[in-house]
Amino acid sequence: MGTTYTRRQPAYYDVEDRDDLYVTRMPSSTRRYKPYETVDDPLVLQNQNTSSIQRRRSSGNTTKTQSVYPTRQPGGAAYSAGRPSKTVDVRRNELAPKQGPAKKRFYPMLIVGMIVAMLLLLGLTWLFSWWQGFQQDMTYGYPRTAHVDAVVGHNDSTEHPTHFVFINLHGHIQVYEIPGGDTSKMRIFNGPTLDGSGQDLIPITGSVVNQQGKINLIVHVGDRDFLFINDGKTFHPR
C-alpha cells in the first residue's frame, strides 16, 4: 500500500482593518490645490501654513466669500493671483525708470512777458508825468507864472487894486508889485532860489492875508510857503 502525502495550506488570519492605512479622497469642500510652480516657494508655503481653511458655506448663507487658495484654471495652470506679490513688485521696481533730480526749465515766454510788463509800466509812468506837465503848462505857462489883484494899502483902492505877478524863472522866485496899477511905481522882490533839477517846472502862486491889522503877502511854491511882511509902504521877505 502506497504512502499518502497530505499538503497543508498556510493558515491566513484576518488582520484588523485600519482606516488610517489607506489614502482616502478628501471631501471637495476641504480640497486644497497647490500650484505646481510654487511647491518649493517658501513664501507660499509659509502663507499656506498660516492661513485657515475656508469653512463650507451653508445653504442659508448668501454672503460670498473668497477662498484664500488659488483656484485652478482650465488646462491645469494655477491662477496668477496665487503667485507672491513680492516678485511682481520687484520686477516693477526693476523695470521702472529711475527718476533723477528735476531739471530747471527755461520759460522764454515768461521772460518776454516780464519785459513787456516792465516796459508797459515805464510807459504808463512817463505818460502820467507828461500829462501832468501838460496840464501845468496850460494853467501856469512857462516859465511858471501866476497873477493876483489885492488891496494892500500901497497907493491903491478897491477901484484900483495892486497887481502882483509871481514868476518861477528857472528856479529863481520873483514877485512883481504894481501899486494901484501904476507901472511907473512897479517894484520887484527877489525870493529864494530853488536847487535841483526840474525846479523850474514847479508851479508858483500867491495870496494876501490879514495878520495883526497888516496885509502880508505869502508866496506858494509847490508845498513850500514864503512870507513877505508889509510895513505899510513895501514888502520885506521874512
User: How is the chain split into domains, by residue range?
Assistant: 108-140, 142-237
- pLDDT at residue 107 in the model: 77
pLDDT digits (tens, 9 = 90+) for 69-119: 455 555 444 444 455 554 545 455 555 556 656 565 667 888 898 999 999
Q: Binning pLDDT at 50, 70 and 90, where does residue 22 land?
A: low
pLDDT at 44 over 60: no
Residue with more model confidence, 215 or 98? 215
pTM score, whole prediction: 0.49
- pLDDT at residue 79 in the model: 47
61-to-18, 27, 53, 140, 171 alpha-carbon distances in Å: 37, 20, 18, 102, 105
How far, rounded to the nearest angstrom, does the alpha carbon of residue 56 sit from its chain's CA centroid? 61
Cell numbers for 68, please give them: 484664500
pLDDT at 124 over 80: yes
123-to-101, 126, 133, 134, 178 alpha-carbon distances in Å: 41, 5, 15, 16, 45
What are the backbone angles phi and psi of residue 227, rounded to the nearest 5°? -100, 135
CA angle 88, 92, 97 (to 5 degrees): 175
Q: Binning pLDDT at 50, 70 and 90, where does residue 120 land?
A: very high
Cell numbers for 192, please give them: 529864494
pLDDT at 172 over 90: yes
- pLDDT at residue 136 in the model: 84
pLDDT at 168 over 50: yes
Q: Who's near 123: CB < 8 A, 6+ residues apart? A: none
- pLDDT at residue 57 in the model: 52
pLDDT digits (tens, 9 = 90+) for 23-34: 666 666 655 655
Query: Which residues lie across from 147 on neighbouring strands?
Result: 165
- pLDDT at residue 10 in the model: 63
- pLDDT at residue 41 in the model: 57
**Topology, domain 142-237:** Lipocalin (2.40.128)
pLDDT at 227 over 50: yes
Q: Binning pLDDT at 50, 70 and 90, where does residue 63 land?
A: very low
- pLDDT at residue 78 in the model: 47
Q: From CA 54, how far away is CA 51, in angstroms rounded? A: 9
pLDDT at 134 over 90: no
- pLDDT at residue 77 in the model: 46
Q: From CA 216, how far away is CA 207, in angstroms rounded? A: 9
Arithmetic mean of pLDDT, 187-215: 89
CB 152 within 8 A of CB 208: yes
pLDDT at 149 over 90: yes
Arithmetic mean of pLDDT, 195-216: 89
Q: Binning pLDDT at 50, 70 and 90, where does residue 228 land?
A: very high
Mean pLDDT of the chain: 75
